[in-house]
Structure 1
Amino acid sequence: MTLLDSFLARATLAGIGTALAAAPLGCFIVWRRMAYFGDATAHASILGVALALALDVPVFGGVLLAALAMATLVSVLAGRGFAMDTLLGVMAHSSLAFGLVAVSFLDGVRVDLSAYLFGDILAVGRVDIALIWGGAVLVLALIWWRWSAILTATLNPDLAHAAGIDPRREQLVLTLALAIVVAVAIKVVGILLIVALLLVPAAAARPFARTPEGMAIVAAGIGVVSAAGGMQFAYILDTPTGPTIVCVAAILFLISGTLDALRRRLLR
């Protein structure tokens, strides 16, 4: 019996891979205040599910295509005079609604919407593990390759222009990375909780990091602990696994905030 023969081992590996992919990207979403951007991209993925099922192609491919299309569309419309928060709110909820309606039109196809909305990590197989870890490696490679450029464009667009860096190009790199994370995370935490897995570990890491690189590393550690801890608690308490992973991340965020508040009070 190999390690991957155990469904708990496969689920834990899937959670850890997703957390490692989401952590550094989540830091950029926190720095750029792009939470709604992540929501719009994640919610559009239900359209990808409907497309994949209708065309009888792998769900991963449909979700990746839909997420990438939505993220690109939002990036293009961002500079066209639209109020960004309104645009993202409209597109996020509209795409989710249209996706749910589209799924209902699929005749002869049984669709467990809860598995896509909240994740079904216990059902991951060997192919899912390969896709998740392949996506994680690709995202980490993209972020590592463009780290300095993306960071400069995030912190100071004017300085980026002066250094010959195109902020819009770096935005597209983040868009691609976000689409990949959404595609790999849908099986683990589901459409409605993907953004939480991106944001919460990064937010929890913020008080403990003195450098951007340090924040990304700490966020990855918190994400891994959340995934592994959430798996264990879900098994012990018989609770939904995806939401439990996010609950553990939220508890770590509360602990992080409390420790930071205590540290600030002691320094006074």
Structure 2
Amino acid sequence: MSLLDDFMVRAVLAGLGVVLAAAPLGCFVVWRRMAYFGDATAHASILGVALALAFNLSIFGGVLSVALIMALTVSSLGGRGYAMDTLLGVMAHSSLAFGIVAVSLIDSVRIDLMAYLFGDILAVGRMDLLVIWMGAAAVLILLIARWSALLTATLNPDLASAAGISPKQEQLILSLALAVVVAVAIKVVGVLLIAAMLLIPAAAARPFARTPERMAAIAVGIGIVSVGGGIQLAFQFDTPTGPTIVCVCAVLFCAASLSELIRKNT
């Protein structure tokens, strides 16, 4: 019997794959205050699911395509007189609504919409694991290769331009990485919780980090603890696994914030 025949092992490996990509990327989301952008990209992925089912394509390919279109559209319209928060709000909720309506109109395919909204990590198969880990590896390689440029463009766009680094290009690279993370994470935590896994580990790591690299490493650690603890608690108390993982992550964030408050007052 192979180790991967155990659904719990597959679930843990899937969660770890998502965390390894989402946690470091989430640090840039926090630094750049892109929380709403991540949420909008995640919401748009439901439309990608609907298109993939309608045209008999892979879910990963459909979600990735729509997420990339969302990223490119927002990047191109952001500087043309549109308020960014308004634009993201319109596109996020519109794409989510169109996606849900489109899914309901596909009679030839039966789909558990709740699994895509909130995740179904316990149903992850071998092929899903392969896609998740390949996507996570691609994001990690991209972040490592562009770390210095991304960090410079994030902290000081003017300095980046003076050093020959294009802030807009780095923004597009982050958008690409975010689209890949959304595509691989939809099976694990679902559309409505992807943004939480991007933001909460990074936010929880912030009080303990003195350098950007340390913050990314701590965020990965917090994500790993959240996945392991969330799966264990969900199995023990028979609760939805994806939301339980996010709940554990939120508790760790509260603990980190409380410890930071105590440290400042002592």
Matched, 1:140 2:173: no
1:57 corresponds to which letter in structure 2? Answer: L
Q: CA RMSD in A?
A: 0.6
Which amino acid letter does the alignment assign opposite residue 91 of structure 1?
A: M
1:30 corresponding residue in structure 2: 30
Map 1:34-49 onto structure 2 (within 5 A): 34-49=34-49
3-state SS of 2:184 partner: helix
Distance 1:39 1:195 in 2: 5
| Matched residue, 1:67 | 67
Q: Provide Cα deviations, 1:53-87, integer angstroms capped at 9, x if missing partner.
A: 01111111101111111111111111111111111
Contact 1:40 1:71 in 2 (8 A): no
Aligned length: 266
- Determine if contact 1:26/1:202 at 8 Å carries over to the other structure: yes
Deviation at 1:240, TM superposition (A): 0.2
Q: Letter of the 2:121 partner, please give it.
A: I
Structure 1 stretches lacking a partner, 5+ long: none
Unaligned runs of 5+ in 2: none
- TM-score, with structure 2 as normaliser: 0.99
CA–CA separation in structure 1 for the residues paired with 2:38 and 2:71: 8
Letter in 1 for 2:71: A
1:90 matched residue in structure 2: 90
How far apart in 1 are the matches of 2:161 and 2:4? 48
TM-score by length of 1: 0.98
Alpha-carbon shift at residue 104 of structure 1 (Å): 1.2
Q: Hey, what's the Cα distance between the residues in 1 that align with 2:253 and 2:42?
A: 22
CA contact (8 A) 1:197 1:246 kept: yes
Question: Which amino acid in 1 is paired with 2:161?
Answer: H
Q: Distance in 2 between matches of 1:91 and 1:161?
A: 30
Distance 1:109 1:263 in 2: 55
Distance of 2:228 and 2:235 partners within structure 1:
11
Partner of 1:159: 159
What is the identity, as a one-letter code, of the residue corresponding to 2:149? A
Find the residue that maps to 1:33 and give its secondary structure.
coil
- Corresponding position of 1:264: 264
Percent of aligned positions that are identical: 71
Distance 2:75 2:229 in 1: 35
Corresponding letter in the other structure for 1:23: A
Any idea what the Cα deviations from partners look like across 1:151-181, whole Å, max 9, x if unmatched? 1101110000000000010011101100000
1:100 to partner: Cα distance: 0.6
Which AA in structure 1 matches 2:178?
L
1:198 Cα deviation after fit: 0.2
